[in-house]
Amino acid sequence: MSQKNNMEFNQLTIHELQEKLRDGSLTSVEITESVYRRIASVEEKVHSYITLMEETAIGQAREADRRIKEGNADELTGIPIALKDILCTEGVRTTCGSRILENFIPPYDATVVRKLKDAGAVFVGKTNMDEFAMGSSTETSWFGITKNPWDLERIPGGSSGGSAAAVAADECIASLGTDTGGSIRQPAALCGVVGMKPTYGRVSRFGMVAFASSLDQIGPVTKDVEDCAIMMNVISGHDTGDSTSVPAEIPDYRKFISRDIRGWTVGIPREYFVEGIDPEIKDAVDETIKILEDLGAKCIDISLPHTEYCVAVYYIIAPSEASSNLARYDGVRYGFRATGGEDLLDMYKKTRSSGFGAEVKRRIMLGTYSLSSGYYDAYYKKASQVRALIKSDFDNAFKKCDVILTPTTPTPAFRIGEKVDDPLQMYLCDIFTLSTNLAGIPGISVPCGYTRTDLPIGIQFMAKHFEEGKLLQIASAYEKNSKIERRRPEL
Ligand code: GLN
């Protein structure tokens, strides 16, 4: 009993907790309480959450304990999970990090939320994010900045910064994020946790507040690769509520954990090792290559020739789609409405002027411009054409290799305030993650070490459409053999 009291249950992984829940040595209520104890002690410093759901969580935990006793447990029954505040939760405020949705209470659950509920998960709360998921640092939220648990003066990455910080700080066991251009993988890398963007179409986006519909995906943020597989098992699948979700077979992702990668070919795209990449990140990649070779994989040089256009293409396509998606926030149908408008148009103007923050407005203007007649051909259409070339780069590359390996980010976490007033510098943070969204393929970021000043570094693997299993296989083989000690941030 005394040993039980000394253990911090909130530090364990999903699969570690599953065992303890099943053998009866631990209850979901105990785990959930340990998570909220942790939140009480560190949340003021980190600010991972916009909304906490303690009362309903304890109720869900009791229900989960009943279900486990009945022998009716699912993979996530009794596990405390955090949800990015872009996912609709019935009866629970969903803000998307924006003033314009400050008081929006959805009347329904997103499909992924319903799937987690059905599996018996416990919802800890809604995590902080860049406003409308536009950003790479979680500094643009209307609800304040999330700090990196490894260094509170630095950003956690974004836009799913709250989801990554909450996992890294043990303020939940796992979380869901969304990734339109890197928003799961980049914060996962900067916070030292695992993050996966599934294939476009693998996970339903029904009930996710839309940012750029041809790029958006929902995915897990977890403490290790096995947990990522467990989360993928629960959230994947076709859904009539999202016409882009694909009715493809879903493998048991857990089966890919602990399989070897002997004989695999890993492509290293030379275009990803450009000037400006931090030398410590470059060293970490070289070290990873050695480990993969020791495991029997062959690492080869490949080319993705259109890589240099990714940032430009993404920052035309994403804002264009955003400008259309965000037209619905007019002060009539959702959330915030400004007072004092003289007529309907004036009310729209006042509502959108004060309801959206600077970055969101910048994107709406960029997008409206590139879609407008006379400019459409030069910008949006041209970007779509180059996007097709980027995709065909990957099709060609995967003829030569099983997976592709790149750094997840060009630098470790930067300081709060360092880039927020320089959009171009901020956009360049996404240089290695945008391409998978543009091509629709899956990508995962896995911790691969620390800088000399103890900041986490992440490595990214990419695979062909619907080959998430391969990503989990190589990521877990690497994780098990990399001998990187599992450290915890001191808070
Ligand atoms: N940082 C990128 C952007 O600002 C990607 C965001 C995302 O993936 N949601 O658009």
Cβ–ligand 1 contact at 183 (below 6 Å): yes
Q: How far is CA 217 from the centre of its chain?
A: 9
Q: Hey, whose CA ends up nearest to atom 10 of ligand 1?
A: 134
Residue 2: predicted pLDDT: 35
CA distance linking residue 482 with residue 284, whole number of Å: 11
Query: Residue 151 falls within a domain, yes or no?
Result: yes
Is pLDDT of 4 > 50? no
Coil, helix or strand at residue 322: helix
Cβ–ligand 1 contact at 179 (below 6 Å): yes
| Mean pLDDT computed over 281-303 | 97
Query: Residue 31 falls within a domain, yes or no?
Result: yes
Residue 10 identity (one-letter amino acid): N
Q: Which domain holds residue 94?
A: 3-256
Question: What's the CA-to-centroid distance between 318 and ligand 1, angstroms?
Answer: 8
Residue 479: predicted pLDDT: 96
Told to judge if 84 belongs to the known catalytic residues of this protein, a careful annotator would answer: yes
Residue 117: predicted pLDDT: 98
Query: Residue 78 falls within a domain, yes or no?
Result: yes
Query: Residue 341 falls within a domain, yes or no?
Result: no
For position 33, which CATH number holds?
3.90.1300.10
Query: Residue 187 falls within a domain, yes or no?
Result: yes
CA distance linking residue 141 with residue 162, whole number of Å: 10
pLDDT digits 0-9 by tens, 358-374 = 999 999 999 999 999 99
What are the C-alpha distances in Å from 446 to residues 111, 187, 238, 261? 26, 11, 27, 16
Residues 135-164, buried b or exposed e (16+ Cβ, 10 A)?
bbbbbbbbbebbbbbbbeebbbbbbbbbbb
Cβ–ligand 1 contact at 321 (below 6 Å): no
Query: Which of the residues 159, 163, 245, 370 is marked catalytic?
Result: 159
Query: Residue 44 falls within a domain, yes or no?
Result: yes
Told to judge if 476 belongs to the known catalytic residues of this protein, a careful annotator would answer: no
pTM for the model stands at: 0.97
Told to judge if 245 belongs to the known catalytic residues of this protein, a careful annotator would answer: no
Query: Residue 32 falls within a domain, yes or no?
Result: yes
Question: What's the CA-to-centroid distance between 135 and ligand 1, angstroms?
Answer: 5
Residues near 424 by Cβ (< 8 Å), separated by ≥ 6? none
Pick from 229-233, 252-256, 275-279, 283-287: least confident:
275-279
Please count the structural domains in the chain. Answer: 1
| Mean pLDDT computed over 339-350 | 94
* Residue 432 CB burial class (10 angstroms; 0-12, 13-18, ≥19): buried
Cβ–ligand 1 contact at 135 (below 6 Å): yes
Residue 7: predicted pLDDT: 61
Of the pLDDT bands very low, low, confident and very high (cuts 50, 70, 90), residue 3 is very low
Query: Residue 438 falls within a domain, yes or no?
Result: no
Query: Which of the residues 28, 98, 160, 183 is marked catalytic?
Result: 183
Residue 359 CA: nearest ligand 1 atom is 4
Question: What's the CA-to-centroid distance between 182 and ligand 1, angstroms?
Answer: 6
pLDDT digits 0-9 by tens, 225-258 = 999 999 999 999 999 999 999 999 999 999 999 8
The whole-chain average pLDDT of the chain stands at 96
